[in-house]
Amino acid sequence: MPNLENLRKQAKLYLRWHRDGYHPVAAAIRALLPRYTHLTDSQILVGSFKLSDAQELVARQSGFESWQALKTGVQAMPATANPTVSMPVLSEFEAQLYVSNIKASCDYYSKLGFTMAFSYGEPAFYGQVKRDNARLNLRLVREPVFAGDIREREILLSASITVDSAEEIRQLYDQYRSAGIDFKQALKKEPWGARTFIVRDPDGNLLLFAGPAA
């Protein structure tokens, strides 16, 4: 049986992600809440998003039209033999980037402080680079993945990577600037409080780096 308290915590987590400006949550909001379908990621993240909206998002993910319907449904479910079983926890996340040359991409990401974890094929058609707990999978493709300039125009992110402190996000930005990294967006303070910058890799993949403002 779903745990209502865990669902409440999940809603609060979505609310925090929205306030922190994490772009992946914008895609979930747009996909599940009809009133947001016409908005871009940036418009969603700077707009109003309350706890009631986050609860509705959780409800729709669970197949209910509203938070009240979810609560009613959960409360009506019969108790199981093991009612204390918790929801599964996702323990790891890896972003998938589409690139035209695995070796060239690995050389680029080494400038961002990433190291090669593995690669397959000769020449390589798949690989992974990692830095601390961040892992990026590199998939070789021979054709454009996105049509036209939609990725640049809509700032379609390939990955979002966070650090824990304001000092770290400033240090990381300074390091990348010194290394001559191409930025889509310079370091700035967002309206919701986070400090972010976006880099552009040789294949046009956009990576957001985010940290607290203070």
Contacts of 1 (CB under 8 A, 6+ apart): 74, 77, 78, 79, 80, 83
* pLDDT given at position 199: 97
Q: What is the pLDDT of residue 1?
A: 44
Question: What is the model's pLDDT at position 187?
Answer: 96
Residue 167 to residues 33, 65, 170, 187, 214, Cα–Cα distance (Å): 36, 42, 5, 12, 8
Domains of the chain, with CATH numbers?
Answer: 4-76 (no CATH), 95-212 (3.10.180.10)
pLDDT in tens, the chain (214 residues): 457 888 888 888 888 888 888 777 888 898 889 899 888 888 898 889 999 999 998 888 888 889 888 888 877 766 554 545 556 766 667 899 999 999 999 999 999 999 999 988 888 899 999 999 899 999 999 888 787 788 888 889 999 999 989 999 999 999 999 999 999 999 999 887 889 999 999 999 999 999 988 7
Find, among 203, 108, 204, 105, the residue nearest to 153 by Cα: 204
Calpha distance 5→8 (Å, rounded): 5
**What is the pLDDT, as a whole number, of residue 143?**
83
